[in-house]
Amino acid sequence: MSSNEISLHLKGLSQFVDDLPEPQNLLFALPFPSPVAHGRIRELDTSDALALDGIYAVLTARDIPGENQVGNIIQDEVMLADGEVHYVGQPVAVIVGESPEIVRRARRLIRADIEEWPAVFDAREAAEKNLLLTPTRTFAIGDVESAFSQCDVIVEGRVESGGQEHLYMETQTAMALPTEDGGVKIYSATQSASVVQRTVARVLGLEASRVEVEVPRLGGGFGGKEDQATPWACMAALAAHRLGRPVKLTLRRSEDMRYTGKRHPYSSDYKLGLTSDGKILAYEVTFYQNGGAAADLSPAIMERTLFHTTNSYYIPNVRSTAISCKTNLPPNTAFRGFGAPQAMFVMESALYHAASEMDIRPEILQKKNLVKNGNKMPYGQRLTNVSARTCWDGLLGKGQLALLKKEIKSYNREHVFKKAGYAVMPICFGISFTNTGLNQASSLVHVFGDGSASVTTGAVEMGQGVKEKIRGIVSRIFCLDRGRIKVEFTNTTRIANMSPTAASTGADLNGNATRLACERILARILKNESKQNDDKLVRFENGRFLIEGNAGGRSWEEAVLSAYWNRTSLSEHAFYATPKIHFDKSREKGQPFAYHVYGTAVVQADVDCLRGTYRIEKVRVLHDAGAPLHSKIDMGQMEGGIVQGLGWITMEEVQHDGSGRLVTDTLTTYKVPDIQFAPDMEITFLNRDNPVGLYRSKAVGEPPFMYGIAGYFALLDAMRAFDKNIVLRFEAPMTPERVLSWLYPDKEPEEITATSMPVAETVELPVK
C-alpha cells in the first residue's frame, strides 16, 4: 500500500493534530482575548465563567509556574497579559473546560475592565514616536551621494505594500498530555518543534528533556506556524500541567484570523539614480516595517528585506535602511518570502517609475541591470553560477517578447473598455537562514532486518512535499522501493535541536543529513559484504552487491540480514551543517547564502476599465530549479507560490478599523485567489545543475511567490493603456476598488459610465 502524503490525503487517512485519537478525560482550552488595542487591565472578572458547569479553570499570568514569556528572537512577548494589553486579540487568560462549546460560552461571561491608552497602528507614526522593536539596520555599498551626482535620471517616491493572511487550511492547534514524571508531551501544528519544546519548558519551569513535541504534519504553514504555533502549544501545556489532564486548544477560523499575525505591511521611500542609457548607479531606500506589538520574527524578516534590497539587479552604490516599528496590532510574522517580497516590490516600483520618466518600457531597464557572475551584492557576497540572464533570454529573447507586445497592442486597439497589459519579473532569492547558526539539521535512519527503512528528520511536512523528497533520497541510496521507506512524524525525542522548517531549506538541510546517514549505513553493509567475500571489492549497483564486478551478488535483503548477524549497526544519526556560509553583523558583510535561486516570469493581465475588475490571464516562467529533487512537487510549489504571490499583490487586503480590530476576519471580507482566479500558467525549469545543491538541486519553496509581483505592474500597464495620464502609484494590493478609483480619481462610483470615460469621446467603437 502506498503511504505517501498525497495518497493518504486522497483517502482521508492522513492525520493532523486535531484528527489524532482523543485521550480519555480530554479538556479543551481557549484564550480570552483583549478587546482593546492598548491599555491597562484594572480588573478581570471570571466568576460567572467559572460558575458555569463544565468549566475547570480560567488561568492567568499568576498560574504560570515558570516564566511568562513566549518571545523567540527577543524575549518581549508575555504568554498571558500581565497588567497591560498591547493589541486586540492578545491572550489575557486561558479558559479550560469540558468541550469546545462550553469554553466559548464561558468566554462571553468574562468581563475585563480595561483603562484604554492611545494606540498606534501606522509604522511611520510609530517610527516618529521612536517605538521600535529592534535597532535600525543599514546595508551599504559604494558611495550613494557621489553616485547620485553623476546620474542623468533620478526618481523618488513612496511604496506601500499590505499585509497578508496565511490562510493555511488547518488552523492553529495543539494537544498536550501530562507525562508520568511531571513533564508534558505535546502534539503541535508547528514548523518549529524545538522552539515549542524550548518555550514550553521555559513557561512551565521544566528542563527541555521533559518536554516532548511531536508534529504529525501541517495543513499548511506558509511561515504562519514558524513562530506563532508556539503560544497555543504553551497554553495547552500550561492547562495540562495545572490540571493533570490532557488538553487541546484549536482555534476556529475567525479566531485564528483575528489573533495571529500576518505578513508585515511595509511603507518605504526610494530614490533611484540612472544614467541616460539606463544603467542604475545608485539606490537609496528606507523600509518602515509594521511589526505589531512584539518582535516575533520581525528582526530576521527585516534582515531578509535588507538582503533582497536590489532583487536581481547589480547596483554599485546602495544604501538600504530598515526600521522595525512597534504598533498595536498582533505581532506580524514569517510569511513565504520573509520580507524579500516587500523589498522586491519597492525595487520594481522604483524601476517602473524610472522607466516611465524615461518614456521606455521597464523591461529595458530590468534587462540592462540584471546581475552577472562575480557581481558583489550590497552585503558583500559575490554571485556565482548566475542564471538570471539565461532565464530572461530563454523566456523572452527569441522573439517571445515582441510577439506578446504585438498581441497586446492589437488587443488594446480592438477594445475600448478592456485593456491588456504585461510585466516582467526577474527574481534572485538567497537560500539559507540569514541567521547562519540555524543552517543545520539531523536525520535518524534505521534499516530493519527485512530490508525496509525508516527515517526521522527535523523537517515538518506542510504540503510542500519534503517527506517525499526525503523518501526519494533514501530510495536512491538504498535502491529501495519508495513503499518500503517510512518517513516518520517529526519528534523532538528522535531529533534534538532542530531548526524550523523554513527559509526554503527543509529539503536541503534535512535531505543532506539523510544522505549522510544512508551513505554511512550503506558503507557498513558494503564492508560486511566484503568481509564475507575474502575482503574482495564490493560495489552496490541497482540494488545488488557485486563482488569484484561480477554479476550475481547478493540482494539488498540478503546483505542487510548478513550485516545484522555479523553485528553491524543498521542505524545512523547524521548531522549536516551548510558549509562556507558566514555573516558579520558588525560590518553587515559576509557570505550568508549557500546559493541563489534565479528565474524570470512574464505576467499578462486584462482590466475592465469600466468596472475596475480584472483577470490575470497568463503567467510564463523560466525558472532555475537546479536538477529538481522531484519535478512534480517542484511544479506544484511553483504554481502555488505564484498564485499566492498574485493574491498578495492584487486582491488580498487585510483591514483593521480605527480601534485596531480586524475587519477582514472571514472569507466574505478577505478575498483570496481560487481556482477561477488562477491564470493560465506555463512554467519551464531551466534544468541547470546546482554545483552546491543536494544532488544538484535547488530549494523551491519561497522563490516563486515573488513572480506574483509582476501582477501589479501588468495591471498598472493595462490601466495606462486606457488612460496614459493616470497618476502612478505604488500601493499594493491592487484591488478592483483601487483600480476603479485610480482610473477615475475625481468621480464617485455611481458617476462612472461609459460616456464619462476619458477615451469615450475620442475613440470610435469598433463595428463588427
Catalytic residues: 702
733 prior amide bond cis, ω within 30: yes
User: Toward ligand MTE, which CB reaches closer, 221 or 645?
Assistant: 221
Query: Which residues from 622-661 bind ligand MTE, rule CB under 6 A?
Result: 637, 640
Strands 440-447 and 571-577: antiparallel
- Cβ 295 to ligand LUZ shortest distance, Å: 12
Burial (0-12, 13-18, 19+ Cβ within 10 Å), 498: buried
Which three cell numbers, joined as nine digits, stand for 215? 508534529
Q: Does 440 bind ligand MTE (CB under 6 A)?
A: no
Cα separation, 313 vs 330, in Å, equals 34
Cα separation, 629 vs 610, in Å, equals 47
Specify the stretch interacting with ligand LUZ by CB under 6 A; choose among 320-328, 431-439, 522-530, 755-763. Answer: 431-439
Specify the stretch interacting with ligand MOS by CB under 6 A; choose among 114-122, 333-341, 675-683, 690-698. Answer: 333-341
Query: Which residues from 321-360 bind ligand LUZ, rule CB under 6 A?
Result: 334, 338
Tell which one of 206, 462, 607, 694 touches ligand MTE (CB under 6 A). Answer: 462
Strands 680-685 and 614-623: parallel
Q: If you write DSSP's letter for every residue of 703-727 in order, what string do you get?
A: GGGGGGGHHHHHHHHHHHHH-TTSP
Instruction: Give the containing element (helix H, strand E) for 679.
Output: none
- Do 711 and 645 contact (CB within 8 A), yes or no? yes
Three-state SS for 498? coil
Tell which one of 173, 309, 332, 434 touches ligand LUZ (CB under 6 A). Answer: 434
Specify the stretch interacting with ligand MOS by CB under 6 A; choose among 146-154, 328-336, 415-423, 725-733. Answer: 328-336
Three-state SS for 4? coil
Nearest CA to 721 among 424, 423, 408? 408
Tell which one of 102, 151, 455, 507 touches ligand MTE (CB under 6 A). Answer: 507
Q: Does 300 bind ligand LUZ (CB under 6 A)?
A: yes
Q: At what angle do helices 340-358 and 631-650 cross, to 10 degrees?
A: 60
Q: Which does 434 bind (CB under 5 to 8 A by kind): ligand MOS, ligand LUZ, ligand MTE, none?
A: ligand LUZ
User: Toward ligand LUZ, which CB reaches closer, 333 or 366?
Assistant: 333
- Do 620 and 612 contact (CB within 8 A), yes or no? no
Tell which one of 139, 287, 288, 335 touches ligand MOS (CB under 6 A). Answer: 335
Query: Which residues from 342-381 bind ligand MTE, rule CB under 6 A?
Result: none
Tell which one of 119, 238, 257, 502 touches ligand MOS (CB under 6 A). Answer: 502
Number of residues that bind ligand LUZ (CB under 6 A): 11
User: Toward ligand LUZ, which CB reaches closer, 391 or 438?
Assistant: 438
- Residue 308's φ and ψ, nearest 5 degrees, are -105, 20
Tell which one of 127, 195, 447, 466 touches ligand MTE (CB under 6 A). Answer: 466
Residue matched to cell numbers 544512508:
518
Tell which one of 162, 163, 220, 660 touches ligand MTE (CB under 6 A). Answer: 220
User: Toward ligand MTE, which CB reaches closer, 462 or 570?
Assistant: 462
Q: Which does 304 bind (CB under 5 to 8 A by kind): ligand MTE, ligand LUZ, ligand MOS, none?
A: ligand LUZ
- Cβ 442 to ligand LUZ shortest distance, Å: 18
Strands 247-250 and 173-178: antiparallel
CA atoms within 13 A on the CB side of 706: 31
Query: Which residues from 212-251 bind ligand MOS, rule CB under 6 A?
Result: 221, 223, 226
Tell which one of 503, 509, 570, 694 touches ligand LUZ (CB under 6 A). Answer: 503
Cα separation, 101 vs 53, in Å, equals 12
Query: Which residues from 47-86 bind ligand LUZ, rule CB under 6 A?
Result: none
Q: Does 719 bind ligand LUZ (CB under 6 A)?
A: no
Nearest CA to 611 among 423, 419, 414? 419
CA gyration radius for the chain? Answer: 28
Q: Does 91 bind ligand MTE (CB under 6 A)?
A: no
- Cβ 479 to ligand MTE shortest distance, Å: 24
Strands 280-292 and 317-326: parallel
Q: Which does 433 bind (CB under 5 to 8 A by kind): ligand LUZ, ligand MOS, ligand MTE, none?
A: ligand LUZ
Specify the stretch interacting with ligand MTE by CB under 6 A; choose among 117-125, 261-269, 501-509, 731-739. Answer: 501-509
Q: Which does 572 bind (CB under 5 to 8 A by kind): ligand LUZ, ligand MTE, ligand MOS, none?
A: none
User: Toward ligand MTE, which CB reaches closer, 475 or 504?
Assistant: 504
- Do 213 and 491 contact (CB within 8 A), yes or no? yes
- Residue 703's φ and ψ, nearest 5 degrees, are -50, -45
- Do 292 and 250 contact (CB within 8 A), yes or no? no
> What letter would DSSP give residue 766?
P
Cα separation, 264 vs 323, in Å, equals 12
Which three cell numbers, joined as nine digits, stand for 18? 486535531
Residue 401 neighbours by CB distance under 10 Å: 18
List, edge to edge, every strand of the sheet that includes 571-577. 485-487, 453-457, 440-447, 571-577
- Cβ 510 to ligand LUZ shortest distance, Å: 15
Specify the stretch interacting with ligand MTE by CB under 6 A; choose among 495-503, 523-531, 681-689, 719-727. Answer: 495-503
Q: At what angle do helices 710-722 and 340-358 cross, to 10 degrees?
A: 30
List, edge to edge, every strand of the sheet that includes 39-45. 84-85, 39-45, 111-116
Tell which one of 38, 336, 389, 698 touches ligand MOS (CB under 6 A). Answer: 336
Tell which one of 188, 439, 456, 504 touches ligand MTE (CB under 6 A). Answer: 504
User: Toward ligand MTE, which CB reaches closer, 340 or 538?
Assistant: 340
User: Toward ligand MOS, which CB reaches closer, 343 or 719?
Assistant: 343
Q: Which does 591 bind (CB under 5 to 8 A by kind): ligand MOS, ligand MTE, ligand LUZ, none?
A: none
Residue 310's identity, in one-letter code, is T
Q: Does 304 bind ligand LUZ (CB under 6 A)?
A: yes
Specify the stretch interacting with ligand LUZ by CB under 6 A; choose among 323-331, 427-435, 476-484, 617-625. Answer: 427-435
Which three cell numbers, joined as nine digits, stand for 48? 460567572
Cα separation, 131 vs 338, in Å, equals 22
Angle among Cα 734, 736, 737 to the nearest 5 degrees reads 95
Which three cell numbers, joined as nine digits, stand for 238? 500550561
Query: Which residues from 683-742 bind ligand MTE, rule CB under 6 A?
Result: 699, 701-702
Q: Does 673 bind ligand MTE (CB under 6 A)?
A: no
Cα separation, 429 vs 449, in Å, equals 44
Nearest CA to 432 among 493, 505, 499? 505
Q: Does 502 bind ligand LUZ (CB under 6 A)?
A: yes
- Helical ranges in 172-297 per DSSP H: 193-204, 230-243, 253-259
Query: Which residues from 169-198 bind ligand MOS, rule CB under 6 A?
Result: 191
CA distances from 527 to 480, 531, 572, 704 (A): 19, 6, 15, 44
What is the x/- site pattern for ligand LUZ, positions 185-224, by CB under 6 A? Answer: ----------------------------------------
Query: Which residues from 693-712 bind ligand MOS, rule CB under 6 A?
Result: 702
- Cβ 334 to ligand MOS shortest distance, Å: 4
Number of residues that bind ligand MTE (CB under 6 A): 21
* Residues near ligand MOS, by CB under 6 A: 191, 221, 223, 226, 334-336, 338, 502-503, 702
* Residues near ligand MTE, by CB under 6 A: 220-223, 336, 462-464, 466, 501-507, 637, 640, 699, 701-702
* Residues near ligand LUZ, by CB under 6 A: 226, 300, 304, 334, 338, 433-435, 438, 502-503
